[in-house]
Chain A
Amino acid sequence: MDLSFSEDQELIKSSVEKFITDNYHSQKRRKIIAEAKGFNESIWKSFSELGWLGLPFPEELGGHGGGLVDLMILMKAFGRGLVIEPYVSTIVMSGKLLTLCPQGNLRDNILADIIKGEKKASFGYAEPGSRFNSHDVETIAKKTSNGWEINGHKTVVFGGGQSDYILISARTSGDRFDKNGISIFCLNANSPNLNIQDYPTIDGFRAAEIRMKNLKIDDEYLLSKKDNGYEIIEKTFLNTIVASAAEASGIMEKMYEMTLEYISTRKQFGVAIGKFQAIQHRAVEMLILSEEMSSLSAMSALTNNKSLTNKKTIYSSKIHIGIGGKKLGQEAIQLHGGMGVTEEMEIGQYFKRLTLLDTFLGNSDFYLKQYAKIDF
């Protein structure tokens, strides 16, 4: 056993931390959020040059063959820097989904373009009535003579308006909740009969409503085997949770540090408020919550580094984002007092992201239920 990073991993860590210190300070982020696209082309280009866009992909697909531990290191630093570029939607989520789909020209080309940084993709799984149940699919794909005709609505598709390709789940057979009968399709963002309503999300990212009305596509745009998409979606979720937990871990660590700094310098009644025991104990609790997130994140990455087989560690990390993250976030704001609720202070920006990470892919309640299904 050795829980220290390898030399290569230390290298990823120091390069991403340096990049964020040098190029991704908060004013810059706020400027990017205000831009029409919601991301920055030159930053994305740097991601590509630094090898991060290819990091989690196998070498035979043009990637760098990184495992989940490598991805965790990158995502934790992204969390600390509150990076709002569409890395999770394009690389982690869509990238994994494509990797899990059977080999094919279209798939390989999209992957190659994504890794090169020339194209972006997003994945639409949620629907207005589905909440967190990704097998609740009412978008229908009907077979035509030379392809498919799709009707439906994918909601809150992260990075949907920033993408060249929109991947969606659609029902090709079965009833509304059946896990069999779900297939994965690829849509060109500029397809006729495809309506994309792009909007900012409250945590600084972008999402879109994707509406398909009699949208016709060729056969090759069916990416999964017909009716067999659900397992791919499930694995994609597991993979994305590992990345998301690492991001949460970076955010929580940073929020703890910022709060510690604040209570050490903010004076009331003639002393720094961190001198009061009542405040000290709460700050210590924040430290522990942050350490727990870090542990659970590392555990989920390590136990799934080669293949996604340990659901328990993944669900555990997700549950702690919701429960521990919520507690830490609320305490961070409270200990910042009035300053904590201002848009100007960085702590609030982190709080918003952390809060919404609980909802991402299903909240802690949802995963408590999934976890219970494993052993009982």
Chain B
Amino acid sequence: MNLDFSNKDQIFREEVKSFIEDNLNKETARRIGEGLPISKEDTQEWQIKLSNKGWMAPNWPKEYGGTGWSLTQRYIFDEECGAASTPRTIPFGVTMVGPVIIKYGTEEQKKKYLPKILSSDQWWCQGYSEPGSGSDLASLSTKAIKDGNCYIINGTKTWTSLAHHADMMFVLVRTRSDCKPQEGISFILIDMKSEGISVNPIVTLDGSSEINMVYLENVKVPLENLIHEENKGWTVAKYLLGHERVSIAEVARSKKALSRVKEIARLNLDGGRSLTKNDRFMDKLIKCEVKLQALEYAELKVISDAVKGNPPGAEASILKIRGSEIQQQITELTLEASGYYAYPYQMKSMEKGSNEPIVGPSWGISSAPKYFNTRKTTIYGGSNEIQKNILAKMVLGL
């Protein structure tokens, strides 16, 4: 056993570092590091740089324009991006629908969609959850009915992140009702400019609106937008879920966020002393770091096993559970460190280019909004309760 990266991997790490150094917009990185919102353009700027370098799709095979990196290299890339606070690549295209199209898509579908994901010309969103179908996703009721060379789709999708920026949406729809719920679901791609689609923002506790309700009213979608076979959408969704879960631990980003909490704790905030002298605060900070170390090792083990040909199974749910809890704990620490500066509600000052006067230290502005917003991590991506059900069944055999 050893934790050392090979020479080749270390050279690769240097290459990634210098690429980031040369290409990352420093102001964007600062905003991400401080928990401030960034615009679509900020993300797009970064994605285009990745795209030009040929690094947009670390998880795709080379023949489709992916990087062809090993799992270890992908891990190093994520780690360096996290440490440098780069924008996150929007996952719905490259991480989610991309691999699905590669696995199940027709030649035409591959030609039509993959290049635009690689070039970042098309942004995607995910139409899964519905008001009545959250954890029980298979109960979804958005209907697609065949009509000539089209499907006519009616229903409501919810929690759709970035739908307001998206050009395309992949959805799960019901195409059959006279069977087990999972057997009547299809996976379909929808152009967001289609008639009958309306996107309504959902404002979250922090005052931001990154998620949306998407209403589909008699939306016509060509039959060729079906992925895989009709009523095989559940198989596709499960395949996609496997891709989503691997990167959900967010170790690198959490390490970066925790190191920021440490910087804050070193400031003289506590009546002339630093919070590092406050044992109660430090206990919590260190307990969080202990959990994060365990998570980091667990993630490395998953990668090491996968390199040897043993891809992660249900154990990946452990990464999701602890990863999301740690993300929340870090926002909790920042909130506590902020003291009274958790109070001022400064949405306008958080915006890019704002000249609004700031109340309190600049690092405190986002502390409460982040804490409230991050409650979502244990709810989304399969709530932690669902992850525990998976573990109980698949790992414990109960």
Contacts and interface: CB of A to CB of B under 8 A. Distances in A.
Interface of A: 126, 128-133, 136, 155-156, 176-177, 197, 199-203, 205, 207, 209, 267-270, 278-279, 330, 333-334, 337-338, 340-344, 348, 351-352, 355-356, 359, 363, 365, 368-369
A348 B369 CA distance: 12
Interface string B198-237: 0000111101000000000000000000000000000000
Given A177-B271, A268-B134, A343-B207, A132 B379 contact: no
Contacts of B339: 131-132, 359, 363
A165 to B, nearest CB: 21
Contact of A338 (B136, B158, B346): B158
Among B133, B278, B343: residue with most chain A CB under 10 A: B343
Interface string B38-66: 00000000000000000000000000000
B272 interface: yes
Nearest to A276: B385
Contacts of B133: 268
Given A133-B271, A177-B272, A341 B344 contact: no
B343 A176 contact: no
Interface in B349-373: 357, 359-360, 368-369, 371-373
B271 A365 contact: no
A202 B360 contact: no
B58 to A, nearest CB: 29
Interface of B: 129, 132-136, 139, 158-159, 202-205, 207, 268-272, 278, 280-281, 335-336, 339-346, 357, 359-360, 368-369, 371-373, 375-376, 378-380, 383-385, 388
Given A202-B342, A268-B134, A352-B205, A363 B129 contact: no
A201 B271 contact: no
B336 A268 contact: no
A341 B340 contact: no
B135 A337 contact: yes
A59 to B, nearest CB: 35
A268 B136 contact: yes
B360 A155 contact: yes
B205 A268 contact: no
A333 B343 contact: no
A343 B359 contact: no
17 contacts: A129-B271, A130-B271, A133-B270, A177-B271, A197-B357, A199-B344, A199-B345, A200-B344, A205-B343, A268-B135, A269-B139, A334-B375, A334-B383, A337-B379, A348-B205, A352-B372, A356-B343
B371 A355 contact: yes
Contact of A341 (B129, B345, B373, B384): B373
